[in-house]
């Protein structure tokens, strides 16, 4: 009953809110992260997942994969998020870029989130994925910062819509190591996809490369942000 009431309250607030499409640019994402109060994190664009490219950007907390979304069927099994995994369902169009960024930030204990995002993480810690998604969509801070980077031209919604063949509809998903496991986090799915053991330190980067390459082959050309 408590979750039903919270869902109802969030959904009512959501009706009065709106999220714009933002630029898909690592500089924009880095500035967005800074505006949220997070310290010491930058986003870099990667056109290759080789070890040399990874080493150039320094410690890698997570990877975000951008691809053209066509609504392809994906039968891979999802898992119930464990207590250490922050996973939120995407409840509103145009929020997937910011949500993918949050999926990395909230799942890396070594990142200094700042006062407001630390409080948000604590507030949503025990929420199920859909209520976490509603909390993101209704956060004044997240919506304000996200919309401050709105694209100048009008665009179609990024996902969950019937698009014409010529439309370019894009989506972002995240890859992060959490508690020794490697996860693919996509807010349009029912839950995280566990890709196996992450290994110690940055060994997870060796495991994530074939996973992203496989997704790229299945979905068409994409690019990674780290």
Active site residue 96: yes
- The answer to whether residues 29 and 101 touch, using CB atoms and an 8 Å cutoff, is yes
Q: How many residues does the chain have?
A: 226
Residue 40 is classified by DSSP as S
- The answer to whether residues 146 and 95 touch, using CB atoms and an 8 Å cutoff, is yes
| Helices 26-35 & 96-105 angle (0-180, nearest 10) | 60
Phi and psi angles of residue 217, each rounded to the nearest 5 degrees, phi first: -65, -40
- The answer to whether residues 108 and 198 touch, using CB atoms and an 8 Å cutoff, is no
Query: Annotated catalytic residue: which of 20, 44, 61, 171?
Result: 171
| Helices 96-105 & 129-137 angle (0-180, nearest 10) | 120
Nearest to 140 by CA among 119, 167, 113, 112: 119
Query: Annotated catalytic residue: which of 20, 44, 96, 194?
Result: 96
Q: For residue 70, what are its two tokens?
A: 């066509």
Active-site residue list: 96, 171
């Amino acid at each position: 009953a408590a979750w039903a009431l919270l869902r109802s309250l969030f959904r009512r607030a959501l009706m009065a809110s709106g999220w714009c499409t933002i630029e898909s640019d690592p500089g924009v994402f880095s500035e967005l992260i800074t505006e949220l109060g997070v310290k010491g994190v930058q986003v870099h664009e990667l056109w290759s997942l080789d070890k040399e490219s990874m080493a150039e950007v320094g410690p890698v907390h997570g990877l975000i994969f951008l691809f053209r979304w066509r609504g392809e069927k994906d039968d891979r099994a999802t898992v119930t998020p464990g207590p250490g995994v922050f996973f939120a369902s995407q409840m509103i169009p145009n929020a997937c870029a910011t949500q993918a960024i949050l999926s990395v930030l909230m799942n890396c204990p070594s990142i200094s989130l700042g006062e407001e995002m630390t409080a948000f993480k604590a507030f949503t810690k025990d929420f199920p994925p859909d209520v976490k998604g509603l909390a993101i969509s209704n956060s004044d801070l997240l919506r304000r910062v996200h919309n401050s980077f709105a694209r100048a031209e009008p665009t179609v919604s990024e996902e969950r819509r019937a698009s014409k063949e010529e439309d370019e509809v894009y989506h972002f998903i995240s890859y992060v190591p959490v508690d020794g496991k490697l996860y693919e986090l996509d807010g349009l799915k029912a839950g995280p996809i566990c890709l196996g053991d992450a290994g110690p330190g940055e060994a997870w980067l060796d495991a994530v490369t074939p996973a992203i390459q496989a997704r790229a082959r299945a979905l068409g050309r994409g690019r990674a942000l780290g």
